[in-house]
Chains A and B, each alone.
Chain A
Amino acid sequence: MADKKINPEELVDFAVTARKYKTLLTPKYKARKPWTNPSPYDVQSSIPGTVIKVLVSEGQVVKEGEPILILEAMKMQNHVDMPFTARIKKINVTAGEHIPKDTLMVELEPAD
């Protein structure tokens, strides 16, 4: 039978609807990722893997549906395609690079 004392200094304010409660946070709660609204101009990796080949260069206008790069993951060579026609603003990865999930691989900007 544990008889643990609660240390009031460790308690934090925790809002649930309109009321704030004094409570402790769990490590998992503290480690959660805050939500950010994804920009349509950011091309992120949806799976961790290896960049096999980058097929575009910075400044180039690429049409919707054309491949930007090849990302090998789970023994498959996945083509990452242009979501819409746009100009390649910046390429953040190089061929041969291992990247985790949600890496910002390529940044786009409007074509005109």
Chain B
Amino acid sequence: MSLKKNVEALRLKKAIVEKGGGDKAIEKQIAMGKLPARERILALLDPGSFHEYDMFVEHEERNFGMDRKELPGDGVITGTGTINGAPVCIYAQDFTVMGGSLGLKHARKITKIMDHALKLKMPCIGINDSGGARIQEGIGALAGYGEIFYRNTMASGVIPQISVILGPCAGGAVYSPALTDFVFVVENISKMFITGPNVIETVLGEKISQENLGGARVHAEITGNAHFYALSEEECFKQIKTLISLIPHSNDEKAARVEPKKPKSRKKIENIIPNDPKQPYDVRDIIYALADDSQFLEVHELWAPNIVVGFGRMNGETVGFVANQPLYLAGVLDCDASDKAARFIRYCDAFNIPIITLEDMPGYLPGVDQEHAGVIRHGAKVLYAYSEATVPKMTVILRKAYGGGYIAMNSRHLGADFMFAWPGAEIAVMGPEGAANIIFRKEIMEAEDQEAMRQQKVKEYVEKFANPFVAAAKGYIDAVIEPQETRELLLHALSVSEKKYDYRPAKKHGIPPF
């Protein structure tokens, strides 16, 4: 055969694989409101940048009639390409090929591209759309999952790992996304659960729909398994591209620097916070007033909204913002908010991203459900994450910093590099009302007009202690600043922290309160 004929034969062979499960199955996929696997990759990557590998990999299962079954690409597409010019490894499960089910060879294609990503230090993106383990392959499929989980763990904190859930993702399949850094879900398309509605109904008699059990909204709002929620695949891909542009592509580099831009927020930073400490505001307005171009990519927007975390840029460089949100639950820390903040802080620390903490919180959430849900060990994660982090860490106390919350939110005592406080900040062991009730209990009890005495003592406490100057006098606060100075001071603090080196004792690893 001439080379020309060989090339023609190759093209034919490739075209067959590229058809996946065939026209009918692709039609079905589209009817479900989903893009075919290959189109998803092409939509996410820069045009013309995708190159596929392992197209001709075949499964080796011989039981249950599998010897007569041909599965193009074994149900998964793998390759490399670029996003905004940055190299990435990518795989996409093809639901049109035997439901995207995972057999050993399917898994080995995935682990191969993961190994590639880890060795070549680039992000790894997995598009999940699979009915789960290929039951015909038995424990071969389980072995495949295990090999993926192992690599997820090895790559954790070295390269960014992104999971995109664009279809069902059930049973063992959910644990790879759970081990990765960021999980993206799309309304009506994503479904994640360990055991599906059918099993739950047969075993337990509980009736629930797939959507209510593990739909996109459930994971974005209730479980916190998903970090980003979108209404369409298109919106989801846009979010991924924005994220990739903001984060470093491995742990031995920094995020790409872009042209610095001034905030374009219309709200003046000094006018955002109400004078009455009991009144809320949206802390994201403060972030918009501080961040370059007022751009902020919020992570976990719907889950535990009482704390806000996400990425923005300061002077062209990526920073992580962690901010109490008085608009929800008065900005308290609870189990979920602690988990959310701690994980984000560890992400920033692993990938050389400085952390800016904006503090306005009344303490931990009181309640039996919180105590029984383990708010002690969950809350401890925040202390651990801040203390452990060696990236530049700066805090601005906007308003309230009471008690355990004051310590937890990147205080000087946990190793903050810079502590700033606005002049109206209340840094105290607890809220003035509570403190006055305890300290002046006797005076209040013995007074003729108890309420008047209580009010007077609260006022005294506010004047003496609910301000930033007690902490500043002890050196716990480096500078009491005017709101308008905040951005300039943070930019300065970031620029002088560039070569920060922080000593940590040698260890195999710590034991965070997981």
Hey, which bits of chain A sit against chain B, CB under 8 A? 1-4, 6, 11, 14-29, 32-33, 35, 48-50, 73-74, 98-100
Contacts and interface: CB of A to CB of B under 8 A. Distances in A.
Contacts of B329: 14, 23-26, 29
Interface string B255-275: 000000000111100000000
A26 B306 contact: yes
Most B-side CB within 10 Å, residue of A25, A26, A35: A26
Nearest to A13: B278
Contact of A4 (B205, B282, B294, B295): B282
A21 B280 contact: yes
Contacts of B284: 2
Interface residues of B, number: 46
A92 to B, nearest CB: 15
Interface string B312-344: 000000000000001111111000100000000
Interface in B404-457: 430-434, 437
A21 B369 contact: no
Nearest to B403: A17
B498 interface: no
A23 B363 contact: no
Interface string B203-232: 111100000000000000110000000000
A86 to B, nearest CB: 27
Interface string B273-311: 000011111101100100000111000000011100000
A32 B371 CA distance: 13
Interface in B62-118: none
Nearest to A74: B203
Contact of B326 (A23, A48, A50): A23
Most B-side CB within 10 Å, residue of A2, A16, A19, A25: A16
Contact of A28 (B331, B332, B336, B367): B336
Contact of A1 (B265, B363, B437): B265
Nearest to A28: B222
A27 B363 contact: no
28 contacts: A1-B288, A1-B294, A1-B295, A1-B296, A6-B327, A16-B362, A16-B365, A16-B431, A17-B362, A17-B431, A18-B431, A18-B434, A19-B434, A20-B278, A21-B278, A22-B280, A23-B330, A24-B280, A24-B328, A26-B305, A27-B221, A32-B367, A32-B369, A35-B369, A48-B204, A98-B204, A98-B205, A98-B206
